[in-house]
Chains A and B, each alone.
Chain A
Amino acid sequence: MTSVKKKNALQKPLSRWGWFFLGPVLVAFIIGFVWPFIQGIYLSMCKFRLIKDAKFIGFDNYVAVFEDENFLRSFWYTALFAIVSLVLINVLAFMVAYVLTQGIKGSNLFRTVFFMPNLIGGIVLGYIWSMIFDGILSQYGTSILQNSTWGFWGLIILICWQQIGYMMIIYIAGLQAVPEDMLEAAKIDGARSDQTLFKVIIPNVMPSITICTFLSLTNGFKLFDQNLALTGGFPYIIQPDGSSIHTTEMMALNIYQTFYSSGSRSPGVAQAKAVIFFLLVAALGLAQLAFTRRKEVRQ
């Protein structure tokens, strides 16, 4: 709630209807979010196989997380993936949006095409592209499951294909809101088109750029379905001590594997990873909020 409201005529009659209006959501929200969240924090400090015989052990699980080479590697892998995809998606989406706002023929059709992949689910997307990459790589006697370089760039290509259209829509909205008279003034003053772009257009679409940057960053960090379906973490490298490094596994998939894979040690460690993952994603969200707030003040 932003401001203190004056009393309105509805408040009093409404007070007796809380159970009706708020009740259903509140019950579902507690079952679907609040209770699992609290339980999740508690379980991250427990040793257990089944929830009912959980034993409190303090921060041992967190210590184990930071000794887990595979998890630390998945963090750096995810960070690298998020940054590369962020740059590519945003640069390409901005370029497409810029071209499509120049009034060229067929703009609407192009927009429809570019946005379309965004509606296909992550699992299906993963399998479409695994067929395509394997079709190419089988000519060279390899597969996306055997080559981690292809695994990385394959997922980048997939995510660009999926998300460029989405970011393009946000950029188009931003570009259409650039004041017409500013563009006109630039033209009259004899600005070159690159000057207009960098001095007039880009400062005006900064809000869209902020939204899209953070959106692609958090999307990159939270990526799961596409990762699971395209490579599932393969290829694995078997370490001398018998453990294996999953070379294309991102954080969300690593947490999932720690919970549910057959060789999993303790779900407590997985839950501790999940808490760290949550803190990371929430920090990105808060950074975005702070960033946009600061921008708003300045304007």
Chain B
Amino acid sequence: MKKQATITREKLGKLILTVVMSIISIVYVLPVLAVVLNSFKLNTFVKTDTFALPTAESFAHFDNFIKGMTFGNYPFVNSVLYSVVITLLSTGLILLFTSMAAWYIDRRNSFLCKVVYYLCVFSMVVPFQMVMYPLSKTADQLGLNTPWTIPVIYLGFGAGLAIFMFVGFVKSIPLEIEEAASIDGCGPVRTFFSVVLPMMTPTLISVGILEIMWVWNDYLLPYLVLDINEYRTIPIHIQYLKGSYGTVDLGATMALILLSIIPVIIFYLCCQKHIVKGVAAGAVKG
């Protein structure tokens, strides 16, 4: 009898915890819900009735979204396009070149390799503010200030973490497989691309997700490097709208914010497992 009582008490405790967590979860999504609500309200009501449902008086239909498309005299579609181009190109470059470099660094293990490796580890503790001024000037001089060339800078500044993670993984791959390939007549290039690279898939996914999240959300680097009259990524565009005080249309801004977080949330829900794993793997970054 006593045992049964403890079991029911335990069950009750768990039930209470579920209820408490449910309430906290609802509170947790409220900010996103507020964005959804306010993206359908007329500008003047966003500030005064932030938490009210849109009424007949304050409801703006899809006007905010339509207005937002050309808001600030800049087509929002372009921002999306540039964000996508920069994110995909940068992530692709980083994955390809740092995985190659990491394999070479670990297997060749020469003096230069060690220097590069330790420089990479060192670069992980350097905050962006330390290099941003000279970096933005260098980027201008070298013509790395367009969405198609800025990935080179992301490759350079983002190499540290990627190489660190890839080297950690390469160390765990047994050498015998590559030695066998080399005895069978594979050159280093073929050994890497047809033997090593496929084995690196889990780390490629983890690093890829970290880089996508970093580049997609990055504001300061593209803001300083790109010519912002011509090229604005989504964060730059949103900062530009809100930052220009005076005639800010809050309703339209919220509509754009909503449009910019919807793909992120879909991406998250689709590959949640990989994202959580990748982010946890990146926790080594200090």
Which A residues form the contact surface with B (CB < 8 A)?
A: 1, 5, 8-11, 13-15, 17-18, 20-22, 24-26, 28-37, 39-40, 43, 51, 99-100, 102-106, 109-110, 112-124, 127-132, 134-136, 138, 161, 166, 169-170, 173, 211, 214-215, 218, 222, 224-225, 228-229, 232, 252, 255-256, 259, 267, 270-271, 274-275, 277-278, 281-282, 284-286, 288-289
Determine if B89 is an interface residue (Cβ-Cβ < 8 Å): no
Query: CB-CB < 8 A to A170: which residues of B?
Result: 280, 283
Determine if B169 is an interface residue (Cβ-Cβ < 8 Å): no
Q: Are B163 and A252 in contact (CB under 8 A)?
A: no
Q: Are B113 and A22 in contact (CB under 8 A)?
A: yes
- In whole angstroms, what is the CA distance A115 to B274 when docked? 13
Q: Are A17 and B182 in contact (CB under 8 A)?
A: no
Determine if B188 is an interface residue (Cβ-Cβ < 8 Å): yes
Q: Are A25 and B133 in contact (CB under 8 A)?
A: no
Determine if B7 is an interface residue (Cβ-Cβ < 8 Å): no
Q: Which of these, B100, B107, B260, B279, contacts A124 with CB under 8 Å?
A: B260
Q: Are A103 and B283 in contact (CB under 8 A)?
A: no
Query: CB-CB < 8 A to B238: which residues of A?
Result: 123-124, 127
Q: Are B21 and A99 in contact (CB under 8 A)?
A: yes
Q: Which of these, B183, B242, B284, contacts A9 with CB under 8 Å?
A: B183
- In whole angstroms, what is the CA distance A231 to B260 when docked? 21
Determine if B53 is an interface residue (Cβ-Cβ < 8 Å): no
Query: CB-CB < 8 A to A9: which residues of B?
Result: 179, 182-183
Determine if B235 is an interface residue (Cβ-Cβ < 8 Å): yes
Q: Which of these, B119, B125, B142, B218, contacts A34 with CB under 8 Å?
A: B119
Question: How many B residues touch A, CB cutoff 8 Å?
Answer: 107
Given A10-B107, A135-B50, A169-B276, the answer on whether A277 and B127 have CB atoms closer than 8 Å is: yes
A-contacting residues, B153-167, CB 8 Å: 153-157, 159-160, 163
Query: CB-CB < 8 A to A229: which residues of B?
Result: 239, 242
Q: Which of these, A99, A119, A169, contacts B17 with CB under 8 Å?
A: A99
Given A119-B264, A121-B235, A278-B127, the answer on whether A127 and B183 have CB atoms closer than 8 Å is: no
Query: CB-CB < 8 A to A281: which residues of B?
Result: 125-127
| Interface of A (DSSP majority class) | helix
Q: Which of these, B129, B153, B275, B286, contacts A32 with CB under 8 Å?
A: B153
Query: CB-CB < 8 A to B132: which residues of A?
Result: 36, 256, 259, 274
Q: Are A17 and B133 in contact (CB under 8 A)?
A: no
- In whole angstroms, what is the CA distance A15 to B112 when docked? 11
Given A33-B159, A104-B17, the answer on whether A21 and B103 have CB atoms closer than 8 Å is: yes
Q: Which of these, B156, B265, B269, contacts A30 with CB under 8 Å?
A: B156
Chain A: CB-nearest residue to B35: A128
Query: CB-CB < 8 A to B275: which residues of A?
Result: 119
A-contacting residues, B81-132, CB 8 Å: 93, 97-98, 100-101, 103-110, 112-114, 116-117, 119-120, 123-132
Given A13-B187, A51-B137, the answer on whether A37 and B47 have CB atoms closer than 8 Å is: no
For this complex, 9 residue pairs linking A to B, each with C-beta atoms less than 8 Å apart, are: A8-B107, A21-B101, A25-B159, A121-B216, A123-B239, A130-B242, A256-B220, A277-B127, A282-B126
Other A-B contacts than A24-B100, A33-B126, 19 sampled, CB-CB below 8 A, are A11-B107, A14-B188, A22-B112, A25-B159, A26-B101, A28-B159, A31-B144, A35-B138, A36-B132, A37-B126, A113-B28, A120-B261, A120-B264, A134-B50, A169-B276, A211-B283, A224-B129, A225-B220, A252-B127
Query: CB-CB < 8 A to A127: which residues of B?
Result: 238, 242, 253, 257
Given A17-B189, A169-B280, the answer on whether A114 and B28 have CB atoms closer than 8 Å is: yes
Q: Are A267 and B131 in contact (CB under 8 A)?
A: no
Q: Are A14 and B279 in contact (CB under 8 A)?
A: no
Q: Are B192 and A21 in contact (CB under 8 A)?
A: yes
- In whole angstroms, what is the CA distance A136 to B239 when docked? 22
Query: CB-CB < 8 A to A18: which residues of B?
Result: 104, 108, 112
- In whole angstroms, what is the CA distance A1 to B109 when docked? 8
Chain A: CB-nearest residue to B214: A121
Given A21-B192, A116-B268, the answer on whether A106 and B21 have CB atoms closer than 8 Å is: yes
